[in-house]
Amino acid sequence: MIYEIIKLWGENTYQSSEENSFIPTLTTYVLNGSKKRGAVLILPGGGYTSTSPREAEPIALQFNAAGYHTFVLDYSVAPRRHPQPLLDASRAMCIIRKNAEEWNVDSEKIAVCGFSAGGHLAASLGVYWHKGYLSNVTGMEIGLNRPNALILAYPVITSGQYAHRGSFINLLGEEASSELLYEMSLEHHVSEKTPPAFIWHTFEDQGVPVENSLLFALSLRNKSIPFELHIYPEGEHGLSLATEETATSPVQVAPHAATWMKLCIEWLNLQFK
């Protein structure tokens, strides 16, 4: 396996503060061999305040076991604001495509997989990948950043009635305008350019209400974009794999919800056949 941590931006491009020298990174989990494979870019959750390790390497290794190269993005969070996280995700996707030959990635088979606020970032890339400002800032042509598929795990989607308010405050600031809140309420911006999606959530989620996934699925349906949607009856927010491997307490083990990874891989295999 090629395991490498790559800085997304040069120090002159990404201005760190004196108090915080953080620069976003892309960690590679590239399988050995010359066979071209699909890939998954993973965006952990954390409410746009952090990126959870429970939704990073454990997820990468599961997709590796299914035959996919994986990449984990440690993206910008508060006090950095929109559009920086989206610029990070866009550049990460471009880097994967730019290195597709070296890493034996099939550049037409790259999914983005996001959890919670990372799901919001993944869905943002899915609906906004074609916007010119992403190309202007990253210095890479439009289209290199396009995900071929979306995998959304208990995603933050809406800034409306069912919003996870904390994520939007961290992403946009306390004084975000109604126009900006609408722009980042992603159920309103699905288009024919949005990739197919695999979405899962739990009915019991008290952190990010299940309506977030339902609203996005309905928007996909209205634009005739194929999707697979699983709503599990039990399980709290932030389950990750929903197994003992990623659990930090017994309530994060949910055997029924843990079937999501197997179903997701089956779906991804169908998309990338």
CA distances 78 to 42, 48, 166, 217, Å, are 19, 6, 11, 28
Asked if the structure places residue 14 within a domain, the reply is no
- Condensed to tens digits (0 to 9), the pLDDT of residues 85-134 reads 999 999 999 999 999 999 999 999 999 999 999 999 999 999 999 998 89
Query: Any idea what the CATH number is for the domain that residue 101 is in?
Result: 3.40.50.1820
Asked if the structure places residue 230 within a domain, the reply is yes
Conformation bin of residue 173: beta by default, left when phi > 0, alpha when psi is -120 to 50: left
Residue 18 has pLDDT above 60, yes or no: no
Nearest alpha carbon to residue 64 among 89, 91, 38: 38
**Spatial distance between the Cα atoms of 9 and 16, rounded to a whole number of angstroms:** 11
Token pair 């996870």: residue: 164
Q: Which pLDDT does position 245 carry in this prediction?
A: 97
Q: Which pLDDT does position 139 carry in this prediction?
A: 72
Asked if the structure places residue 18 within a domain, the reply is no
Nearest alpha carbon to residue 184 among 204, 158, 206, 163: 158
Q: Which pLDDT does position 16 carry in this prediction?
A: 61
- Condensed to tens digits (0 to 9), the pLDDT of residues 135-181 reads 877 677 889 999 999 999 999 999 999 999 999 999 999 999 999 99
Residue 15 has pLDDT above 70, yes or no: no
Asked if the structure places residue 16 within a domain, the reply is no
Residue 235 has pLDDT above 80, yes or no: yes
Q: Which pLDDT does position 140 carry in this prediction?
A: 76
CA distances 25 to 28, 43, 89, 131, 236, Å, are 10, 11, 10, 23, 29
Domain of residue 113 covers: 2-6+23-271
Asked if the structure places residue 139 within a domain, the reply is yes
Q: Which pLDDT does position 11 carry in this prediction?
A: 78
| Over residues 244-250, mean pLDDT | 97
Number of domains the chain contains: 1
- Condensed to tens digits (0 to 9), the pLDDT of residues 32-77 reads 999 999 999 999 999 999 999 999 999 999 999 999 999 999 999 9
Q: What is the DSSP string of 164-210?
A: -HHHHHHHH-TT--HHHHHHT-GGG---TTSPPEEEEEETT-SSS-T
Asked if the structure places residue 15 within a domain, the reply is no
